[in-house]
Amino acid sequence: MNRDPSRPSARVASPTFSPLYRQIKDFMIRSLEAGEWGPGDAIPSEGELAQRFNVSQGTVRKAIDEMASENLLVRRQGKGTFVASHDDPRSFYRFLRLVPDSGEAVQAVSVPLSCVTRPAGAEVAAALGLAAGDPVHYVERLLRFGGDTVVFDEIYLLAELFPGLALAQLSGGERSLYSLFEGDYGVRMIRAEERLRAEPAGAHSAKLLGVRAGDPLLLVERTAYTYGDKPVEWRRGHYRTDRFHYRNDLG
């Protein structure tokens, strides 16, 4: 029997299949999201988790290995497995890829300038999954390396997740912003997407960065996500690259 070419062919949808270790991983991520294990906490042993989920230790180990590769968990030799935390100094460089051309290790210092709550514009609303006009916190801050001002950030945050956020809070202590968000609000950034492009310095960014209007800058637009792939932060970073470069290790 010949098929009528004018009729669309019927296709049977293939059932989705998730390996058992991925299902265990999903259960564990839900526990992280629910706060059963907080940042820096030790999670139960592989044997205890195997009993809890009624699976083999090998299945649990495979789930933990994948979560460790995604920086959700950290294995410590002889101590166990812990929930990753932004308080770990190594996590700072996961989200900041700016490196001096000299190769010298320089500590970044955050200098918040302002923090206000305002309605989300169309671009911010689209990035954060909001309706235009929904409240967001808007933060301006500088990053200084060895006394040089190198980055000007415009940061937008879901207001509902950071109630009462104020400039004084951002200015206190030596913690990174992500460490502050995690410790004070229980909001952990677990991954981010970035878009990079060249831009000429505008009048405002030029004044703050100590360059001339029109000088070339690197614009880094970042959306950061917490558990459940929920976007909670969108930022526009304006980077000087006259003595610094953006570095990304592949592989």
Domain ranges in the chain are 20-83, 90-246
Residue 70: the pLDDT is: 79
Q: What is the DSSP letter of 201?
A: -
Q: Is the pLDDT assigned to residue 199 strictly greater than 80?
A: yes
Quickly count: other Cβ atoms within 10 Å of residue 35's Cβ.
10
Q: How far apart are CA 172 and CA 111, in angstroms?
A: 10
SS3 state at 164:
coil
Residue spans of alpha helices (H) in 35-121: 46-53, 57-69, 89-95
pLDDT band (50, 70, 90) for residue 7: very low
Q: Is the pLDDT assigned to residue 169 strictly greater than 70?
A: yes
Residues facing 63 on adjacent strands: none
Q: How far apart are CA 56 and CA 172, in angstroms?
A: 46
Q: Is the pLDDT assigned to residue 209 strictly greater than 50?
A: yes
Helix axes 20-34, 57-69, angle to 10 degrees: 60
Average pLDDT along the chain: 86
Question: What number is the average pLDDT over the span 44-52?
Answer: 92
Residue 94: the pLDDT is: 58
What value, to the nearest 5°, has the Cα angle with vertex 224 and ends 22 and 117? Answer: 140
Q: What would the CATH number be for the domain defined by 20-83?
A: 1.10.10.10
Q: How far apart are CA 18 and CA 48, in angstroms?
A: 23
pLDDT band (50, 70, 90) for residue 17: low
Q: Is the pLDDT assigned to residue 103 strictly greater than 80?
A: no
Q: Which residue has the higher pLDDT, 35 or 91?
A: 35
% pLDDT > 90, the chain? 51
pTM of the model: 0.80
Residue 10: the pLDDT is: 42
pLDDT band (50, 70, 90) for residue 40: confident
Q: Which fold has domain 90-246?
A: Chorismate lyase (3.40.1410)
Residue 68: the pLDDT is: 86
Identify whether the C-beta of residue 187 lies closer than 8 Å to the C-beta of residue 165: no
Q: How far apart are CA 59 and CA 56, in angstroms?
A: 5
Residue burial 210-239, b: 16+ Cβ < 10 Å; e: rest: ebeeeeebbebbbbbbbeeeebbbbbbbbb
Helix axes 46-53, 20-34, angle to 10 degrees: 100
Residue 151: the pLDDT is: 94
Q: How far apart are CA 30 and CA 34, in angstroms?
A: 6
Closest CA to 106 of 146, 144, 149, 148: 146
Q: What is the pLDDT of residues 110-145, one digit of tens each?
A: 899 999 999 999 999 999 999 999 999 999 999 998
Question: What number is the average pLDDT over the span 221-231?
Answer: 92
